[in-house]
Amino acid sequence: MFRNQYDTDVTTWSPAGRLFQVEYAMEAVKQGSAAIGLRSKTHVVLACVNKANSELSSHQKKIFKVDDHIGVAIAGLTADGRVLSRYMRSECINYSFTYESPLPVGRLVVQLADKAQVCTQRSWKRPYGVGLLVAGLDESGAHLYYNCPSGNYFEYQGFAIGSRSQAAKTYLERRFESFMDSSRDDLIKDALIAVRETLQGETLKSSICTVAVVGVGEAFHILDQETVQQLIDAFEIVKEPEAPAAEPDADAAADQGGDAAQDPPAPPAAPEGAAPMDI
């Protein structure tokens, strides 16, 4: 009777060796709005797309500050992201109180992965339907990790998660070799261009994206909208798609000019605009 209902319990494996509820949680990450992370030797930049479910509502917050040296960007269920970010804050506070030093980023990521993995082996729990990009800076340098709902975690030079993130990944794959030596402003520029790639033709504005930075001598903080808009204007991100559109017009005008020079002049008796209407 229940032979094929392997997706009703997170601890029941299918004959193919799959946990369907974990895959459903990973699919929820793919359906969430895009989040992007990039890192260099000294800085890490997080950027995300703000999407409101309704014109009457505001967008959900997608970037959270965990500590002065750690922040996260989420894609998926925002409620699960808030729970996990609060857990990460507690771990940072406890470690700082006990050892009087900042919590290393790698250790926090492992603890977060263990917490997510427990939800894949308890029958009374469900996996967290959220993916987290963890950006941090510690004694070993800048770090960018991706925590998966399955309990896996990976360190990246640049990564994108969420809806239409493949377009951003394609851009990051072309540019990632230069990230390690990039400056803070160059990283922000690449992050904004990657965000624009996920919009698929929409105009990039500060009202639909959030950018956060952490680096050497710079605590984790979210840039205000005015600063982001100034960066967009300075990098001419909005103007890039419009530039090619002007070239065909110039060519068309040149062609029209060339045709006009080759065609014989119109009879003087016919007023302008009358001949096409008569034809």
The whole-chain average pLDDT of the chain stands at 86
How far CA 234 is from CA of 204, 237, 240, in Å, comes to: 13, 8, 12
Predicted confidence at residue 271, as pLDDT, reads 43
Judge contact between 198 and 209, C-beta under 8 A: no
Q: Is the pLDDT of residue 3 over 50?
A: yes
Q: For 235-250, give the DSSP string.
A: HTTTTTTTHHHHHHHH
CATH architecture of residue range(s) 6-235 = 4-Layer Sandwich (3.60)
How far CA 2 is from CA of 7, 9, 12, 25, 151, in Å, comes to: 10, 11, 11, 22, 27
The domain locations on the chain are 6-235
The per-residue pLDDT for range 73-119, each reduced to its tens digit, is: 999 999 999 999 999 999 999 999 999 999 999 999 999 999 999 99
At 139, the pLDDT band (50, 70, 90 cuts) reads very high
Q: What is the rounded average pLDDT of the residues 231-251?
A: 58
Q: Is the pLDDT of residue 262 over 50?
A: no
Q: What is the reported pTM?
A: 0.81
Q: Is the pLDDT of residue 228 over 80?
A: yes
Q: Is the pLDDT of residue 5 over 80?
A: no
CA–CA gap between residue 140 and residue 161 (Å, rounded):
25
Nearest alpha carbon to residue 213 among 73, 119, 60: 73
By CB atoms closer than 10 A (0-12, 13-18, 19+), residue 250 is exposed
Q: Which SS3 state, helix, strand or coil, does residue 142 take?
A: strand
Question: 260 versus 49: which is more confidently predicted?
Answer: 49
